[in-house]
A and B are shown apart, each in its own frame.
Chain A
C-alpha cells in the first residue's frame, strides 16, 4: 500500500514464470533501494539516475526508500539480497562508517562492506567549512590559532556522532592538532539551523546546503575539503592549498549491487550507468539540485572507495567510544 513500486515489482516477480537461466538482463523491474527517507541527499541522487537508467535499459527502474538506523536497515537489506542485478543500492559515504561503528561497540554488524560490489560513483561533493558571519575568524589560520589558545571551547555542529559531517571535522582537528567542542544534532538540517542561529561556531556541510546562506550573508566560508576549489565558491581555498595534505573529504553517492552478482549482469549495468550519466535530462536534474556529476566506473570507483573507507575507519577509531557528552 505504501510502496506501490515495490508491490508492483513483487506482483510481477510472482506472476512471472520461473526465469530461464540464460534470460537476457534486464527482463523485469529493477529496484534501487535508498536507505534514507525521501527528499534527502541519497533520494535526490537516486531518482534522476533511476529515470535515466530506465530510458537506457528500456526497463522499469523503481526507487524504494528503506530508512532506519542511519541507513543500516536499507544497506543491510541489499547486502543480503539475491545477487541477480534486480536489487541495487544507492548509498552515501556513510556506508563505510556503519560497520566500523558496529565494531567499536561490539554490535553484531548489520552488513560488511565486502557484501556489496561497487557499480559506479555518481557524485562527490567536498564539504565546506563555514562559520557564522558575526564570528571574528576570517581564515582557517585565525580559527585554528584561536582554537589552540582555548582548546575545547570553539564548538561545531554535526549531523550526528560518527556521521559524515562529524568525520570531516575530525579529520581537520587531527591534521591541525586542535580540539573543538562537538555538538551532535540528529541530521544535517538541524545542524544547519544551529549554526544559522549562532548556537555553534562552525559546521562542515555540502556546498548545496551552505551556499544559499553564504549568499545571504549569514555564513562565511573558510575552506573546503576537496582537491580543487568548489566552482561556485572560487575564492574559498582547499585545505590542501593551506598545507593540510591529508584533509580531503567528500560526501559522495554511488550505486552498488550485492556481491556475487554475475559478471555479465555487472557489465550491462556499468555500461548502462555510463550511458545514463550522459543523458541530458539526467544532467539537467542534477544541475537543479546543484550537485556536480562525478562519474567513475567500477574499477576506478573501487579504488576511490577503498581509500575513502580506510580514511573513515581511521577517523572512527581515533574518535573511539564517546564517553558521556564531552
Chain B
C-alpha cells in the first residue's frame, strides 16, 4: 500500500489494526488513538480518498490502498493546507489530540460540501469527539476551510 504517496510494506500479525501499523510500524504518530469503541475519530485517515477510522479495520484490509495521514496533508515545503490553515486562523484546536482526526474528516467532508452550513458541519462531526473546544471554533474552521478548498483536496 501507499502512505502519503510513498509505497510501504511491513511484516505484521494478522490482528494488527491499521492504526497500529501507521503508528508503531511506520512511526507516523500524528494519527491518534482516543478510544477503543470507534467513537472518538482521533484515528481518522483517508483511505482511497474517503475518511475512515483506522482503529476499525485491520491493516491487511488496506492492502493496496492509498492512505493519507495528517503528516501528508501540508504542502511539501511545509506550508499548511487550507483546511489546516483554517483551523489555525479560527483557533479550532486546543490540546491538539483530536485535531488530526478532525482535519482528516473535514477534508473528506469538504470535497462534497464546498460551502457548508453550520448545521451540516455539526452533523459531519458526529463521529469525532473533542473535549477542549466545545466544537464552536472547529465548526468555524471547517466552514472556512471548506470554502478555501473549493471542493478539491
Are A and B genuine complex partners?
Answer: no
Interface residues of A (CB under 8 A from B): none
Interface residues of B (CB under 8 A from A): none
